[in-house]
Amino acid sequence: MSPLPGPDDPGRLHPATLLLAPIRQLGAWAVPLVIALVAGSRSSEGLGGFGLVLLVLAVTFVGQLVRWLRLRWWVEDGAVHLRTGLLQVENRTVPIDRIHNVDVVEPLFARVLGMAELRIESAGSSGADLSLSYVAADAAQAIRDALTASAGASDELEEEPPETTVLVRTPTSELLVAGATSNRIGALAIAAGAAVGFLIDSGIDPEGVLDSAWDLVLLAPWVAGISIAVAAVVIGWVVSIAQSVLRFNDFTLELVGDEAHRSHGLLTKSSGRIPLGRVQAVAVTQPLLRRWLGRSTIVAETAGSVAAGVDAGTGTVSPIEHDARVPELVSTMLRRAGTGNERLQPVSRLAIRRGFVRAWVPLAAIGVAGAIWLSTWWLGLPLGAAPLAWWWSHRRWVAIGYRLEDDLLVCRSGVLLRRRWFIPTAKVQAAGTRATPFQRRLGLADLLVESAAKGAATVRVIDVEADEADSLAERLSLVSADTAFRTDAV
Amino acid sequence: MAPKSAAYDVGMERHLDPGIRLVWVVSSLLMALIPVAGVAVAAIFGAPTWVTASLAAFSALALVAAVLGPFARYRRWSYQLTDHDLLVKRGVLTRIHRRIPRTRVQYVDIQQGPVERYLGLHTLIVYTAGAGLRAVAVPGLPDGVAEMLRSELLAWETESPETT
């Protein structure tokens, strides 16, 4: 029996969905509810507040009931149909052969009630996606199997199940490393630094601060500031590590035939499938700390609507991976033989000059302005910053690289957050160049490559020699035009 | 004049119809009216002289730019349909070249604004499957050319790759 409901017998959501929204509301209202109850024991107005909370819950429940009663979904003529709404009826249709990805997500509460959310992503705008929250957990798996089977291999005969290879299994220790090395630490450090500066520079309104603590701040502002900064970093670190473990606990990626199956999560369990033919680009990302530790994050982008990034988790190939295994995983995801780890071509050395000018000129302007209006010592700023700006723009130049092969474009950039894009030339949607007046003076141009992947909508290789950029764009366009006769181009 | 042959002349770099300058001048003059209106408001409500004067100077600049800008843009705008892609070159200060492989064209729109209608010009909009449906617009196409370009761009499907 097919798990997909037909037009005569449309499917509904799981009845327990009705309970979930009021439970969520109850969670949100817990604090006012408790206050109302405590106050209610003393006065009659408090009871009124309690009644109000009950009313909100009731309204939520009725709203959910109407949604549940009106929602129908079914499969007809090779497409998934969804109809919702009481006054304004919305019909949504997603052709099955356009489905790129089917995710099953099980948030904690839903899991307790034996339910899961089914997310169906397809190519095209975000309106082309469809979510069923919630259906029975085992039904969700079966629906996904049925949808992906008819999406991928409708013309193939039923054979023995394809062999399964485990590509990635991330141990918890690695997830701790991932959390500890995510770039949020950098942001938090900056925030903490700002907090220190704020504390030292300004007289803070002492109201609301414990007297003893304030005395300490007055006595030793540096000590207090630094301890606050350290505390912020430590807390941020712990939160980041916890998030990483919660999201990617037990991360497993398996290769099943021509699909990558992914599952992970501690409280909210998430699993999804990436048809390899639908991969538009693969991104290998390294925040600075992770690069020092020889680890990378790998994300495969499909043309679905979910934006890039590990946070969404949708296309994650590996949340954290030893650099040595990266080439193998990238080539598996792109279904190609090459390792994808050959040397990249550097861009013009004039890029260093441009980077330096861009970093240094604002500082020089501040220095000159300071020297005119404040003190001559301000001239020290551009002088002192010059070597630093040069070093920075040199690092930036070293990071930039590209290589164009017949079937693959590789681009790399970024100092603090280094990212490598692997874009199959068959998935390139448009290519071009862009040159500002400054670049033209130096005979440089940016190479622009557009793809259908959200995170790689436009990938730039900056400061390539202008002729080279033009011929690269032309070659990309030519290769893309020639390979697009395949049906899996998007 | 638009070529009268059925097949579009492939491979030649083409400029837009000169009439597009008028279309651009009209639309940028409309934008330039905003600071001009600002001057009027400042004068009516008796703003300090320096405010009115600087607004007036800015309006004058905007008006000059509105008239001269389109001429510079026109000089830099060109398009070229090759065997395998549509190449669009534009940009006065920052020069942009964009190539849309023919096989990547998802669909093609033809638009006509009021001024364009008066001048008999069309804008061709080519959509790819790029994230967020990226489009490239070729304005200033005379009657017939836009349609011909469109059918040429959509023709690849019927051609077998060997014939090219």
In the predicted structure, residue A95 carries a pLDDT above the cut 60: yes
In the predicted structure, residue A117 carries a pLDDT above the cut 90: no
At A181-197, the pLDDT tens digits run: 876 555 556 665 665 55
Chain B residues whose CB is inside 8 A of the A432 CB are 96-99
- The pLDDT averaged over each successive group of 10 residues in chain B (164 residues) is 53 90 93 90 87 91 92 94 90 92 86 90 86 76 89 66 39
Q: Is B19 part of a structural domain of the chain?
A: no
> How confident is the model at residue A259, as a pLDDT?
85
B130/A457 touch (CB, cutoff 8 Å), yes or no: yes
Chain A interface residues (partner B, CB cutoff 8 A): 123, 125, 303, 428-437, 440, 445, 448, 450-454, 456-457, 470, 473-474, 476-478, 480-482, 484-485, 489-490
At A15-51, the pLDDT tens digits run: 888 888 777 777 777 776 677 666 666 555 556 667 7
DSSP-derived 3-state class of residue B110: strand
Which H or E run contains B15?
A: strand B13-15
In the predicted structure, residue A14 carries a pLDDT above the cut 60: yes
Of A434, A451, A453, the CB nearest to B96: A434
- Phi, psi for residue A231 in degrees, rounded to 5: -60, -45
Print the domain residue range for B37. Answer: 24-72
> How confident is the model at residue A8, as a pLDDT?
84
Same domain, B42 and B110: no
Nearest to A262 by CA among A382, A141, A399, A103: A103
Same domain, B85 and B57: no
B95/A435 touch (CB, cutoff 8 Å), yes or no: yes
Chain A residues whose CB is inside 8 A of the B97 CB are 432-434, 470, 473
**Which token pair is B106?**
């998802």
Interface test mutation site (partner A, options B103, B136, B156, B163, max chain A beta carbons within 10 A): B103
> How confident is the model at residue B159, as a pLDDT?
47
Report the sign of the C-alpha dihedral through residues A74, A75, A76, A82, in that order: positive
According to the per-residue pLDDT averaged within each range, which of A1-10, A28-37, A258-267, A395-404 is highest? A395-404
Residues contacting residue A267 through CB under 8 Å, at least 6 positions apart? A107, A108, A246
CB A241 within 8 A of CB A179: yes
Chain B residues whose CB is inside 8 A of the A476 CB are 99
Give the distance, in angstroms, between the CA of residue A24 and the centroid of all CA atoms in the same chain. 25
> How confident is the model at residue A440, as a pLDDT?
93
Residue written as token pair 């008239």 = B67
A477/B101 touch (CB, cutoff 8 Å), yes or no: yes
Tell me B3's DSSP state. -
> Smallest CA–CA separation between B142 and chain A, in Å?
26
Q: Is B18 part of a structural domain of the chain?
A: no
A434/B129 touch (CB, cutoff 8 Å), yes or no: no
According to the per-residue pLDDT averaged within each range, which of A113-122, A381-390, B3-12 is highest? A381-390
Same domain, B143 and B93: yes
Same domain, B68 and B83: no
At A326-336, the pLDDT tens digits run: 988 998 898 88
Interface test mutation site (partner A, options B86, B87, B99, B138, max chain A beta carbons within 10 A): B99
A437/B94 touch (CB, cutoff 8 Å), yes or no: yes
Same domain, B151 and B83: yes
**Total domain count, chain B:** 2
In which band, very low, low, confident or very high, does the pLDDT at A159 lie, cut at 50, 70 and 90?
low
Between A218 and A420, the more confident residue is A420
Q: Is B1 part of a structural domain of the chain?
A: no
How many Cβ atoms from other residues are within 10 Å of residue A433's Cβ?
26
> How confident is the model at residue A24, as a pLDDT?
75
- Which percentage of chain A shows pLDDT scores above 70? 80
Same domain, B91 and B112: yes
> Does residue A161 come out as left (phi exceeding 0), alpha (psi in the -120 to 50 range) or beta?
beta
At A274-300, the pLDDT tens digits run: 888 888 889 999 988 888 999 999 988
Same domain, B92 and B56: no
Of B91, B130, B133, the CB nearest to A125: B133
Q: Which residues pair with A116 in a beta bridge?
A: A135
For the segment(s) A17-152, the CATH number from 2.30.29, 1.10.150, 2.40.128, 2.60.40 is 2.30.29
Map out the domains of chain A as residue ranges.
17-152, 164-341, 350-397
A96-119: average pLDDT:
82
A313-341: average pLDDT:
83
> How confident is the model at residue A472, as a pLDDT?
94
Which H or E run contains B81?
A: strand B78-81
To the nearest 10°, the Cα dihedral for A175, A178, A184, A189? 110
- Which percentage of chain A shows pLDDT scores above 90? 20
Same domain, B117 and B132: yes
Between A76 and A448, the more confident residue is A448
**Which token pair is A160?**
């023995």
Nearest to B38 by CA among B68, B69, B63, B65: B63
Final residue in a domain of this structure, among B72, B103, B136: B72
Same domain, B67 and B109: no
> How confident is the model at residue A27, as a pLDDT?
75
Same domain, B61 and B119: no
Q: Is B164 part of a structural domain of the chain?
A: no
According to the per-residue pLDDT averaged within each range, which of A17-21, A61-65, A373-377, B20-24 is highest? B20-24
> Smallest CA–CA separation between A436 and chain B, in Å?
4
Same domain, B153 and B91: yes
A118-145: average pLDDT:
76
Contacts made by residues A464-471, CB under 8 angstroms, sequence distance 24+: A464/A347, A464/A348, A464/A402, A465/A347, A465/A348, A466/A433, A466/A435, A466/A439, A466/A440, A467/A443, A469/A433, A469/A444, A469/A445, A470/A433, A470/A445, A470/B97
How buried is A342 (Cβ within 10 angstroms: 0-12 exposed, 13-18 middle, 19+ buried)? exposed
Say how far apart CA B127 and CA B133 lie, in whole Å: 6
> How confident is the model at residue A437, as a pLDDT?
93
In which band, very low, low, confident or very high, does the pLDDT at A211 lie, cut at 50, 70 and 90?
low
- Phi, psi for residue A312 in degrees, rounded to 5: -70, -30
B128/A429 touch (CB, cutoff 8 Å), yes or no: yes
A430/B98 touch (CB, cutoff 8 Å), yes or no: yes
In the predicted structure, residue A411 carries a pLDDT above the cut 60: yes
Between A309 and A78, the more confident residue is A78
Q: How many CB pairs under 8 A join A and B?
A: 97
Distance spanning both ends of chain B, measured CA to CA: 27
According to the per-residue pLDDT averaged within each range, which of A113-122, A328-337, A469-478 is highest? A469-478
Same domain, B31 and B91: no
Residues contacting residue A214 through CB under 8 Å, at least 6 positions apart? A206
At A417-454, the pLDDT tens digits run: 899 999 998 888 889 999 999 999 999 999 999 888 77
> Does residue B130 come out as left (phi exceeding 0), alpha (psi in the -120 to 50 range) or beta?
beta
Of A123, A470, A484, the CB nearest to B104: A484
Range in A61-65, A461-465, B116-120 with the lowest mean pLDDT: A61-65
Residue of B nearest to A484 (CA): B103
